[in-house]
Amino acid sequence: MILEKGTPAPEFELHSTPDQKLKLSDFSGKNLVLVFYPADWSPVCGDQVSLYNEMLSIFRKYDAEILGISVDSAWCHDAFMENRKLHFPLLADFNPKGEVSAAYGVYNEENGTSKRALFVIDKEGIIQWSYLSPDGINPGADGIIDALESLTQKQ
């Protein structure tokens, strides 16, 4: 089951590059959008992360950062980020495979990938919104923006 609103976001530490790691707690004091997705080079995933890349300035108006997470390796992420000219980190939930995705309730045991899911986490590390998208559907950004607007009204 996908983690729901009001749940403390599970801590993690994942590779953002082959030689660097990021932790959830590195973003303490900021709103955070976690984007779990199946694979770097799939058409829907590419469109989805490219959309979020174009919206970075809007997310940052809500004092929010964005992180993408899939089971692809850090090397694969590097190539994908360069190809798509992405300006936010992609994290490798690679070893042990899918551990962070499973902690958030979005690991697909059947095919060994992350499901397509979104989480908005507040500055205190509490999930304020989550969404599990149907397979093959780009969830867009409307839900993220609505959740961030709601958060900033409370803060």
- Asked if residue 12 belongs to a domain, the reply is no
As a whole-number percent, the residues of the chain with pLDDT over 90 amount to 96
Q: Which of 3, 35, 45, 117 is catalytic?
A: 45
- Asked if residue 136 belongs to a domain, the reply is yes
Q: Is residue 45 flagged as an active site residue?
A: yes
- Asked if residue 120 belongs to a domain, the reply is yes
Mean pLDDT of 96-115: 97
What the block records as the tokens of 18 is 């082959």
The DSSP output letter for 34 is E
- Asked if residue 3 belongs to a domain, the reply is no
Query: What's the domain count of the chain?
Result: 1
CA-to-CA distance for 114 and 105, rounded, in angstroms? Answer: 9
Chain length of the chain: 155
Question: pLDDT band for position 119 (50/70/90)?
Answer: very high
- Asked if residue 138 belongs to a domain, the reply is yes
User: Which CATH number characterizes residue 118's domain?
Assistant: 3.40.30.10
Domain coverage including residue 121 = 31-154
The overall average pLDDT reported for the chain is 96
Mean pLDDT of 92-120: 97
Q: What pLDDT was estimated at residue 71?
A: 97
As a whole-number percent, the residues of the chain with pLDDT over 70 amount to 99
Q: Is the dihedral of CA 96, 133, 46, 84 positive or negative?
A: negative
Beta strands in 62-106 (DSSP E): 64-70, 90-92
| Phi, psi of 141, deg, nearest 5 | -125, -5
Asked whether residue 153 carries a pLDDT value surpassing 90, the answer given is no
Contact 155, 123 (CB under 8 A): yes
- Local structure of 110: helix, strand or coil: coil
Asked whether residue 72 carries a pLDDT value surpassing 70, the answer given is yes
The DSSP output letter for 25 is G
- Asked if residue 2 belongs to a domain, the reply is no
Q: What pLDDT was estimated at residue 155?
A: 64
Asked whether residue 61 carries a pLDDT value surpassing 90, the answer given is yes
- Asked if residue 24 belongs to a domain, the reply is no
- Asked if residue 16 belongs to a domain, the reply is no
